[in-house]
Amino acid sequence: MAQVIDDFAQTIQLDQLWSDPYPIYRRLRATQPVAWVPAANRYLVTRHADIAYLEKHPDIFSAAESPSLMTRVMGHTMLRKDGAEHLRERKAAEPAVRPRIVKQRWTPVFQRIADELIDGFLERGEADLFTDYAAPLAARSLAAVLGLAEVAGADLEEWSQAMMDGNGNYGDDPAVWQRADAAARGVENAVDAAIERLTAHPDDSVISAMLHAEDPLSHQSIRDNLKMFIGGGLNEPRDATLVGTYALLTHPEQRAAVDADPGRFKDVFEETVRWVAPIGMYPRQTTVETELGGVILPAGARLGIVLASANRDESVFTDPDAFDINRTNRVHLAFGGGPHYCLGTWIGRAQVGAVSMPTLLRRLPNLRLDETVPVRWGGWVFRGLLNLPVRWDA
């Protein structure tokens, strides 16, 4: 009698993950929570409990993946380091992004940028909030926080996308490398100019914090880490702004609740990043043979930690596919955990939860989806809306 082997993971294709990963994750959680997925060339880890566990054991589940496309594009950044080496670089950057400075120094900057962008299109009565608002707001805000305020938002958007494409260049496309390398050089030049200025005149920015830390970082380390911040710090607030706004525009009762009490934008933000985690997957590599979710993993196993799936885990969240700002259980893993817990957490909460979404809904009367243009979603490593066509009463 022929044996039927149900190995769903073998059949998963990357284009299916890109279009809509959630049904795939649901099935993996139910049947193969730690599964070798040939198309991704890694084990995908999809249950909340297993991810919460591995985040607390960074000695076993290392961030220093090797070889790493990211290291090829950006050099040695803190995101691919472990232990004391990682902590030293992280601590140097932290003063610029802790909650108090975010509130006092950066939130007013975010607000000014948001208002300027809205002033520019308010009378038009229609916009694509991706290109007209969320992307430039995220880029200009990031430039300010990093200490690159003189860099144009459009340059930052190009650099970010080009380096991210390089990080995902598994097909070894030479054109992608060329564009990524050009972006990396662009960042290095801009950072060098900032270093020169900030060495003499310190300010509250990330570059300044790294330069003037108690244990200051080398200029090369600052350049490399800035590539990582630009590659990885732009799309998340952009995507959270778009997804959260879309969710409110398609859930009128919840929108009414935040109209009545703007304090609830905090809940909107947390539910948005739970519902569609901007970073859907990040890599880890085992340092020793270990067991995870009932599966024995060899030393050196490459893992994909699927935060997007943990955030829809039915054993943790009731009706996990629904957008619901009234959830009582909010233990989402959108910011990751452990030593690599998102450095931009408080920036994201302020930029999106306190500025970008509330300002849009306050300033654009009768804001609604433009029903004539369909919204498009995409991505699994990073996921979000690819457009957000809207209209309002101008």
Partner 1 sequence: MPKITFVQPDGTESALDVDAGTTVMMAALAASVEGILAECGGNAMCATCHVVVVDPTRPGLPPVSDDEDEMLDCTASPRKEGSRLSCQLPVTEELDGLVVRLPEEQM
Return the range that interacts with partner 1 (CB under 8 A); candidates 4-12, 53-61, 127-135, 313-321: 53-61
Does the protein bind partner 1 through residue 278 (CB under 8 A)?
no
Q: Is 341 in the site for partner 1 (CB under 8 A)?
A: yes
Nearest to 381 by CA among 44, 135, 143, 2: 44
Taking CA atoms, 228 is separated from 146, 160, 238, 260, 330, in Å, by: 11, 9, 16, 39, 28
Strand stretches in 255-382, DSSP E = 282-286, 290-292, 295-297, 302-305, 368-369, 377-378
| Closer of 99 and 378 to partner 1 (Cβ) | 99
DSSP state of 264: G
Alpha-carbon distance 274 to 297, whole Å? 28
Does 83 bind partner 1 (CB under 8 A)? Our answer is: no
Q: Does 94 bind partner 1 (CB under 8 A)?
A: yes
Q: Is 389 in the site for partner 1 (CB under 8 A)?
A: no
Per-residue contact string for residues 342-371; x = within reach of partner 1 by CB under 8 A = -x-xx-------------------------
- 378: helix, coil or strand? strand
Closer residue to partner 1, CB minimum distance, 121 or 282: 282
Please give the C-alpha separations between residue 338 and each of 54, 62, 129, 283, 388, in angstroms, as whole numbers. Answer: 9, 11, 34, 14, 34
CB of 263 to partner 1, least distance (A): 14
Q: Which is nearer to partner 1, 296 or 331 (CB)?
A: 331
Give yes or no for residue 313 binding partner 1 (CB under 8 A).
no
Q: Which two tokens stand for residue 218?
A: 């080398």
Q: Which is nearer to partner 1, 59 or 319 (CB)?
A: 59
Closest distance to partner 1 from the beta carbon of 337 (Å): 5
As measured in angstroms, the least distance from the Cβ of 330 to partner 1 is: 5
> Considering Cα of 304, then 308, then 309, then 310, what sign does the dihedral take?
positive
Interface residues with partner 1 (CB under 8 A) are: 55-56, 58, 87, 90, 94, 98-100, 270, 330-331, 335, 337-339, 341, 343, 345-346
